[in-house]
A and B are shown apart, each in its own frame.
Chain A
Amino acid sequence: MEIDIYNKYKKLGRGNWGKDLIMWKAMYTGLLTRFKEEEFTPFVEFFLNLFLDLPKARREGKPIIMHPFNYGPELFHAMGIEPLMQEIFSVGLAPFHLNEPYIDYTNKIGYGDNPTLCNAQRPLIGTYLQGAAPIPDLLFFLSTPCNSLAMTYQVFHNLTDVPMFNMDVPYWLYDEQYETSEFYDEKTMDYMVKQVKDLKNWLEKMTNQNLDIEKFQETMKLVNEAREYVVEFNELLKTVPCPVESLVGFGNFLVMVTKGGTTDAVNATKYLRDLAAENVKEGIAGVPDEKLRIMWPYTHVFFDQDLFPFLQEEFQANVIMDILGYYQVLPHDVSTIEKCYESLAKGTLDFSMIGTCRGPIEYYIEYILNFVKEYKIDAVCMPMQFACKHAYTMARVASEAIREQLGIPVLIFGCDPYDSREVPLEAIRQRISDFITQVVL
């Protein structure tokens, strides 16, 4: 049976995907080979389909929109536009050191350096100029969380002339004198809803089609279904010991940010929820003899895929959650089209890393403090990307708040999650090991 599925995907991957999708195809082939010996769960199938969707869209003449890691794609799916989350390149290539030549090339042509512009997006410029990144039909990005992302998208637009849409996420500071809610007020919602409508109008114009309202509502319902599973899954992570191993929560994020609004997403999130629920029922721990529960309120060290397995084996430490996997979008209200727009606007404000970063530092501190308490966390680990100015500059003050208010130890260190040459794998593992043995245990 499994071999049948494997053969099915092998067949689907055949053929010429186009020169600019060579890297994309290599990632697909690598994944398929890796999964050959494993069970083809709905989560694995989600992944494989994700890679197949792009060449398929090309074949079918479907427009492709490139977007960053902090926007739910439901509107794109509803309009039959293929979303391409651009960081799949930088994250997917990092473990194989395949970002590095493109980073070097980007350096050579003079587009930034690592501490200035983040390598989550920056290598895209070199990759594109060397013909190894696909040119989308449309570009979309948001002003939050960082300048680095917004600038690289503009540079890409400048080089390619691909039409671009920027959504401005307002800086939000709750002020009880004027505002009605801690997270949104009427004005903020109005601002975001207008921009969601502007985006919709722009997409309609660019793709020469109208949004099918029923399809939009159906897509939003599918997001709700998947979201429900993600929320249940996140609740299950509170169990001690944690029912799944490190990184599984990140899987939910990948699903929602790439395929939110599709049945693939519903199946994958349901699978992960069922897995966690079954393990809780059976008393199975994701990390046998779990000793340590770590919170990771930032992105992973993407080039070291074995970091979490290493921590699991060495210290029976489970990294319960990272900043992206902690999906906090509220259910979409699909009762009317207006409510759909409002929900989409609210979902944008609450999306991973936007909700925590679109205002003053208290948003970030509160998020960590609540998570630490609710998920019974023993230690916090922040591997900060050197170029991530908005986050790195919060780390120290946040760590002091965590230590003072909860007495929980915090480790902060700088690195480049996309380039192993900056701070090598061994140094990072050593740093975390020292922290665990000397401070936490």
Chain B
Amino acid sequence: MAIMEGFNKALPLSNPYINDWKNEGKKVLGYFCSYIPEELMYAADILPIRVRARTCADTPMADAYMTPTTCSYTRCCLELANRKQYNFLDGIISCNCCDQVRRLYDNIRYKAPFPYHYIMGVPGYVSDTTIDWFKHELKKLKLNLENNFEAKISDEKLYDSIGVYNKSRTLLKELYLLRKHDNPPITGTETMNILSAGVSIPRQQFNKLLTQQLSEFKGKAGISDYKSRIMLVGSMLDEPEYIQVIEDLGGLVVTDSLCLGTRYFWDLVEVGKNPIDSLAERYLSKISCPRMTDGHPQRVQFLIDLIKEFRVDGVIFQRMKFCALWWAEIFMLRDNLKEEGVPFLDLEREYILSGAGAMKTRVQTFMEIMESR
């Protein structure tokens, strides 16, 4: 339990780990999407932090600039940036992962600037041509980090950094393997705490905590008082409270396809070759999100494989309101799940949990449907 507290300490935007890092005179950069290789920043002795916006309650300023019909994740980020809630960040790195994130970058630069901004282009499908372009983009980012932060990102440092991040990926996969059990030792809510911590604290510390946590889990009695095994699918979710609502109703979240979940860590970076090449190949060809226009068949297969491996009873799509990418993707996935006979629930949500009552009713009904099968 004490170890879990170590993860929980990382839940606030700014946390003691970041403070310690900064007290050593080192820099912290916020990044916006899982297509940005954290390894590059870490190799420059910069702490990469996934930009989250947990404390956002309303978005008047962001509504005016980003408009009320953009997704609430991006609006919350602009709002908090404008309220100087990210003062612990020395800059941000963004990409064109979706229209809203790429314009968030513009609005931040104009209305809530940081000392450092960078945006990189991520191609929309995988081919030799696009991987080659992406390598070029990574070289540009590397050079830019070196120039702006007086760092030298040598191949050795990159190898080390890749090693540290691959270690995390392996540990997280081990954690997920435990969730395959009939009586998993960990809930989805606890898993989300760990995943959020992973992108908010120095990676070596995270690996240490996770290694300890895994050995603790191995001796722990599993959870048996659940009604159904749930898979969560969608974009940016870093709110354990959201999963808590599902689990309070008897659904145990056992796996996912989320930005911070499997899609983040499932694939390793290949070692033993040019590190920039390995990073470019891994980040572009990893299990994709709907921004990759050629990835739908691969995503379907990934989902179906996970459903089978984790013996999922039902899928909950947590679809961020106003997100074009995920609406279209879910529209297509529905048919795939119907063909497989897997029940699903399409839950539109705001970034910050609101209307938990309505959500409860729908999840409750979904549970009943699954139980009656």
Binding site for B on A (CB under 8 A): 110-112, 115-118, 143, 146-148, 150-152, 154-155, 158, 166, 168, 170-173, 175, 177-178, 187, 191, 194-195, 198, 360-361, 384, 386-387, 389-390, 392-397, 400, 414
Contacts and interface: CB of A to CB of B under 8 A. Distances in A.
Nearest to A386: B69
Given A386-B69, A389-B103, A116 B322 contact: yes
B324 A147 contact: yes
Given A117-B324, A166-B125, A168-B125, A173 B119 contact: yes
23 contacts: A110-B331, A110-B334, A111-B328, A112-B327, A115-B322, A154-B293, A154-B328, A170-B123, A171-B95, A177-B147, A187-B133, A191-B130, A195-B129, A198-B127, A198-B129, A360-B105, A361-B110, A386-B67, A390-B102, A392-B69, A393-B70, A395-B67, A400-B110
B82 to A, nearest CB: 13
A144 to B, nearest CB: 9
A158 B328 CA distance: 11
A175 B140 contact: yes
Contacts of A171: 95-96, 102, 119-122
Contacts of B323: 116
A191 B69 contact: no
Given A166-B124, A168-B124, A361-B106, A151 B328 contact: yes
A117 B129 contact: no
B100 interface: yes
Interface in B306-362: 321-325, 327-329, 331-332, 334, 346
Nearest to A178: B140
Contacts of A390: 99, 102-103
Given A175-B140, A389-B324, A170 B98 contact: no
B47 to A, nearest CB: 24
Contact of A143 (B111, B124, B321): B124
Interface string B113-138: 00000011111110101101100100
Given A116-B322, A397-B110, A392 B67 contact: yes
A138 to B, nearest CB: 15
Contact of A168 (B130, B328, B329): B130
Nearest to B95: A171
Contact of B331 (A155, A170, A175, A397): A155
A392 B110 CA distance: 15
**Top 10 A-B residue pairs of the complex, sorted by shortest distance between their CB atoms:** A171-B121, A151-B328, A393-B103, A361-B106, A115-B69, A390-B99, A171-B96, A389-B99, A143-B124, A194-B129
A393 B328 contact: no
Contacts of A194: 129
Nearest to B330: A110
Nearest to B122: A171
Nearest to A164: B293
A404 to B, nearest CB: 11
Contacts of B329: 151
B174 to A, nearest CB: 35
B291 interface: yes
Given A111-B331, A115-B322, A151-B290, A397 B130 contact: no
